[in-house]
Chain A
Amino acid sequence: MTKVLVVDDAEFLRVRITKMLAGEGYEVNEAENGARALEMYQQIKPDVVLMDITMPEMDGLTALKTIRGIDPNARIIMLTALGQESVVMEAVKAGAKDFVVKPYDSDRVLQAISKAIK
């Protein structure tokens, strides 16, 4: 089963995205900040990470870089919002596989995941 790690400090978003992905047959784990994501990445070895950018403790960009440092093949999709264009560029440079703009529609998220694991 494809494992997805959802990283977002906003519980509501995590819950909703988890529900949607679980309904599509993914195995989903949640982390509420970058530091926790890093920890869980090493434990679970997810196939895909959905990573929010703005988070306490460790932000998404730092987490992306750190995880890619540990696992250069890590497939990470950034969850962004309007106004974060320059951060997105930095994320892409750091090896983000894709980015999805919030509020995202389910199809877009599913598409990004299926492309990422191709």
Chain B
Amino acid sequence: MELIFDLAEDEFPIFMAETDEQLQVLDDGLIRLEREGEDMELLQALFRAAHTLKGTAGMIGHKRMVNLTHSMETALDCLRKHTMPVTTALIDLCLEATDALRSLREEVITHTECGVAVDTLTDRFSSLVLAGKPAAQPAVKPTESPVQTPAPVIKPEHQNGASSVRTTAENVTIRVEISQNSIASAARAFQVMMELQGLGTIRQMDPTQEVIETSKPVHVMTTVLETSRSDEDILKALDTLSELDKVEIFPAGAVVPVSTPVQAVETPAVPPPPPVVATPPPAAIKQPAAQAEPQPNAVARPGAAPVSVEKTVRTSVERLDNLMNLVGELITDRNRLYQIRSTLEMSIHNSNQLDVLSDTITHVGRITDQLQMEVMGIRMLPISNTFSKFPRMVRDLSAKLNKKIDLAIEGENTELDRSVIEEINDPLIHLIRNSVDHGVESAEERLQAGKPERALVKLTARHEQGRIIITVEDDGKGIDPDKIRAVAVGKGILTEAEAASLSDDEAINLIFSSGFSTAKVVNDVSGRGVGLDIVRNNIQRLNGTVMVETEKGKGTRFMVTLPLTLAIVPTLLVSVGKNTLAIPLVTVLETLRISTDEIQTVNSRPVIRLRDKVLPLLEMSEAFGFQSTKKDQGYRYVVVVGMGKQQMGLAVDRLLGQEEVVVKSLGSIIGEVVGIASAAILGDGSVILIVDVQDLFQITGQKSGTNKKE
């Protein structure tokens, strides 16, 4: 059966975003509650989240979601009011309910009922709440029969004939029936009382003010009012109140029907006996009253100055993407303008016209830069969007593995482009799983090693020189390079001799090779067939890098470096023969000019010496099969690139300069080409290729045969 919700298309994203946010508040808050104990502000926030979810679910008519949030809200309300202690059982139940709510929320998309047993969960909430507070007040049920006060007998004090217009104060009896559908009929009674007080003096009232203030439901309210106002005035005053089923006014001396007798609570249909003497029939007002007619308010505010209130607009991601693409085009054109200018400047001298054009181009360039910054700013999101899901994950994982782990998060407000945020989620999940599963030892092992029983996994994010740096750090056992060597040999990745020749750093970097997993048993925590090699590949696809630092017995730290955006990449342009290549600046460490005699050969592969280091050198013309025109000029330009701790030199013909290029995919026809990441269009309209530095490292690695064996 297809589920139908009252949710318009334009409301859909708001509903999804808001419910997601509230569910996240629940997830995070519950975990904090468990770890840090009761905290009033936290309990309030949790209560509010459940409350808001209930309201929002109610608005679209999602009844099961309402029922479950209501149960959870009731439990959280007890915690908030300290009528129930915080227990693990309750937190577990709340977390389970939060998961269930996520599934229920999905129904809005799928329109198919998910398998969540809402009744079971609400029952469990009820029994926990009942167990938690034996003397609990009964659950809120507006249908509970109202407690009646003894039936009053209102004695008319005068026998004067009454008219609707009074010249002197008289005692009038007013009988009001309040709708039984009202959730707070007593509050309505209170409003009636206040309205009547504005018209005269209340001589008698049933129920009394004290009873009303206990909030017990009130169905019929009878008041004797000493007033000189007309019946119309009274009716008009009471007409401003909602949920009044019936209002009757009896003149002084009339026999007023007694308030509903105790037995007759459910049947107030007995018609009131007609008032005695010649009086106008009791006026009755039928609810609901007239429809709202928005009309100019009597108290018009002439020419109210426009106030600056809301300053945000909602827009779709698609529009932002389009905007970013347009800015990309603009950057290409700006680069092109720069080139045209330099060509003109070379051929035309001392021209005022050219100066004007040149200034304009400079200005356009500056505006384009600013525009790019602004558009990128709009697309920025705090990384907390991704980070916020991890506390729950670490809690569940550590419970499953029987480890005690705290997750500390820093820099969650660091902003980055939404495209990067979307892509970084999976790699981070894997790195954290890896730390929890492989990095952190069991509690016993930790105690034996003289470490605190609780382990700490730390997740941080920060901006650094136009890049984002994210670290995942644990205080676990660290990575043992010898163990890695042994595993690599055991899995046939390396021969024993090769393994022995690796430095410790090189050995540790083997964890990023494909087919490498040191977990003894494949489990569902980190052994999902996804290795760190996939993590590295995914991060590199984002033009990022990942490196690992580890100290035996102390812990391990993964450091992920990412660009601020995926759409525009700062690159170093180089030429090899007739071809121009772009090397992502994020990988470039420095550039050199070396004489060809400085190129030496070690193990039959070319190397150069850079200060105290020996770097493998990759001749780009050979790597890509380009014809180099400058090979015999006696010197080469070398771009030193690095990824993690690996470094190498790329030999090229010329360095052309830095340029921000707009990344264009190579498309599915060309597919993946080793050594090439993507393409870009330059200012002069020529298409260039962006180098995939990671691939180049693999090429040299394969050549030397130490890094990888296919």
Contacts and interface: CB of A to CB of B under 8 A. Distances in A.
B70 interface: yes
Interface stretch (B184-192, B530-538, B546-554): B184-192
Contact-residue size bin, chain A (C-beta under 8 Å from the other chain): 35 or more
A98 B242 CA distance: 7
Nearest to B305: A43
Given A1-B296, A89-B215, 13 more contacts: A3-B297, A9-B48, A43-B309, A56-B45, A56-B48, A80-B183, A86-B215, A89-B213, A107-B288, A114-B289, A114-B293, A115-B241, A118-B239
A108 B74 CA distance: 26
B59 to A, nearest CB: 5
A12 B15 contact: yes
Nearest to A86: B215
B317 interface: no
Given A10-B56, A82-B70, A99-B187, A114 B296 contact: no
Contact of A45 (B44, B52, B184, B301): B301
A110 B59 contact: no
Contacts, number: 138
Interface string A69-101: 000000000001111111011011100011101
A88 B15 contact: no
Given A83-B140, A114-B292, A54 B11 contact: no
A41 to B, nearest CB: 11
Interface string B12-55: 00110111000000000000000000000000110110011011
Nearest to B59: A103
Interface string A39-74: 010011101000000111000000000000000000
A88 B18 contact: no
A93 to B, nearest CB: 7
A10 B18 contact: yes
B77 interface: yes
B105 to A, nearest CB: 12
A56 B47 CA distance: 11
A25 B295 CA distance: 9
A84 to B, nearest CB: 8
Interface in B46-78: 47-48, 51-52, 54-56, 58-59, 61, 66, 70, 73-74, 77
Contact of B240 (A29, A43, A99, A118): A118
Contacts of A98: 241-242
Contacts of A102: 55, 58-59
A11 B14 contact: yes
Contacts of A10: 18, 52, 55-56
B56 A85 contact: no
B294 interface: yes
B14 A101 contact: no
Interface in A4-24: 9-13, 15-16, 19, 24
A103 B295 contact: no
9 contacts: A2-B296, A3-B297, A11-B14, A12-B18, A13-B55, A16-B11, A47-B297, A114-B291, A115-B242
Contact of B191 (A80, A83, A92, A117): A92
Nearest to B22: A10
A15 B18 CA distance: 11
A35 interface: no
Contacts of A92: 184, 187-188, 190-191, 194
A19 B294 CA distance: 15
A12 B56 CA distance: 6
A111 B288 contact: yes
B190 A93 contact: yes
Interface centre among B47, B56, B188, B310, by most chain A C-beta atoms within 10 angstroms, is B56
A40 B309 contact: yes
Contacts of A115: 239-242, 289
A12 to B, nearest CB: 5
Interface in B273-306: 288-297, 299, 301, 304
Given A88-B184, A92-B191, A81 B307 contact: no
B150 interface: no
A1 B294 contact: yes
A118 to B, nearest CB: 5
A111 B292 contact: yes
Interface in B189-213: 190-191, 194, 213
Which of the listed residues A26, A80, A114 has the most CB atoms from chain B within 10 Å of its own CB? A114
Contacts of B295: 2
B236 to A, nearest CB: 8
Nearest to A106: B292
Nearest to B299: A47
A89 B241 CA distance: 14
B184 A83 contact: no
A91 to B, nearest CB: 8
Interface in B137-173: 140, 142
Contact of B140 (A29, A85, A113): A85
Contacts of A25: 294
A116 interface: yes
A19 B288 CA distance: 23
Among B52, B288, B293, B301, residue most surrounded by chain A Cβ atoms (within 10 Å) = B52
Interface string B71-87: 00110010000000000
B51 A54 contact: yes
A98 B11 CA distance: 27
Among A25, A44, A89, A110, which residue has the most Cβ atoms of chain B within 10 A?
A89
A101 B179 CA distance: 14
A85 B187 contact: yes
B93 to A, nearest CB: 19
